[in-house]
């Protein structure tokens, strides 16, 4: 709409402006995702946490993306489990939640997930859950 309203008189000027603005948008988002984790919480149930990789949603699958490193911590900050997911299977990240992890969390679980990428090194996303007294872990905090 903005480009249309500008009524550029030169042939191809509107198309050039649109391409330039879209490229600027892409570069801005790419820079943002190098500083802030692109991982978002979607849902959880008693044995599974579903996350979404917004980087893949926006840019598609990257050849440099090598998967994810996932670490679980209890409320005291002690690591209770770690796993790696090699590669990516699209935007969705399914993380099995074993009973041992829930039990070892002592009522408070922190999940940290880091995107493994050859070209960028965004910080891990952290998802904080209360596990005591709930059949399904209750999300209580997110740190990007």
Average pLDDT by consecutive 10-residue portion of the chain (144 residues)?
76 86 86 82 93 80 73 97 78 90 95 82 92 92 94
Secondary structure (DSSP) of 84-106: EEES--SSEEEEE--HHHHHHTT
Q: Supply the pLDDT for residue 38.
A: 87
Mention every residue, 6+ apart, whose C-beta is less than 8 A from residue 75. Answer: 105, 106, 107, 108, 109, 110
Q: Supply the pLDDT for residue 58.
A: 73
Domain boundaries, the chain: 1-35, 37-143
Q: Which class is 37-143 in CATH?
A: mainly beta
Q: How far apart are CA 28 and CA 42, in angstroms?
A: 24
* pTM of the model as a whole: 0.79
Token representation of residue 13: 């000027």
């Amino acid at each position: 709409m903005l480009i249309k309203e500008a009524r550029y008189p030169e042939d191809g000027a509107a198309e050039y402006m649109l391409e330039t603005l879209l490229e600027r948008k892409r570069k801005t988002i790419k820079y943002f995702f190098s500083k802030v984790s692109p991982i978002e919480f979607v849902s959880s149930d008693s044995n599974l946490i579903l996350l979404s990789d917004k980087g893949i949603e926006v840019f598609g699958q990257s050849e440099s993306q090598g998967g994810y490193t996932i670490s679980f911590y209890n409320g005291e900050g002690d690591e209770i489990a770690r796993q790696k997911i090699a590669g990516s299977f699209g935007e969705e990240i399914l993380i099995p939640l074993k009973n041992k992890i829930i039990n070892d969390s002592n009522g408070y679980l922190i999940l940290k997930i880091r995107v493994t990428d050859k070209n960028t090194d965004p910080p891990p996303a952290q998802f904080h859950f209360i596990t005591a007294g709930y059949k399904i872990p209750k999300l209580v905090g997110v740190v990007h």
